[in-house]
Amino acid sequence: MSINFVPDRNIPFSEIKTFNHKGVTVDRIEDGSVLLTDSTNFMWVYQADETVASKKSNENYLDCKSENTYKGMMFSRYAGNDPIKIIEAVEDHFNVRLICEYEDDYNKIV
């Protein structure tokens, strides 16, 4: 199972490629994605440039009313990782908030 996060403000992808803050570093760069790690847990980061269905709806959360192209940064947590240290390091370093796909604010961005 994966969980996606988006920042509330733009982060330059070039800065993610060289990230090193509070014990969180780049483990590797693969196929245009960056793997951040705290030596135990990890999160993939990639530049999203795809059409996504907006889940904004007055009547039903699952109704897809429009399509938008989201071109921002996407952070993905896979499996049983606990990415809290990675999230906190990214938020602190870039002065952003990473918004989980299960939060209402996520749909305002994506």
What is the full DSSP assignment across 36-104?
EESSS-EEEEEE--EEEEE---SS-TT---EEEEE-SEEEEEETT--THHHHHHHHHHHT--EEETTST
Rounded to an integer, the average pLDDT of 27-43 is: 95
Q: Are strands 20-21 and 2-7 parallel, antiparallel or unpaired?
A: unpaired
User: What average pLDDT does this structure show over 5-20?
Assistant: 93
The whole model's pTM is what?
0.80
Cβ contact 5:94 at 8 Å: no
Q: What is the reported pLDDT for 80?
A: 82
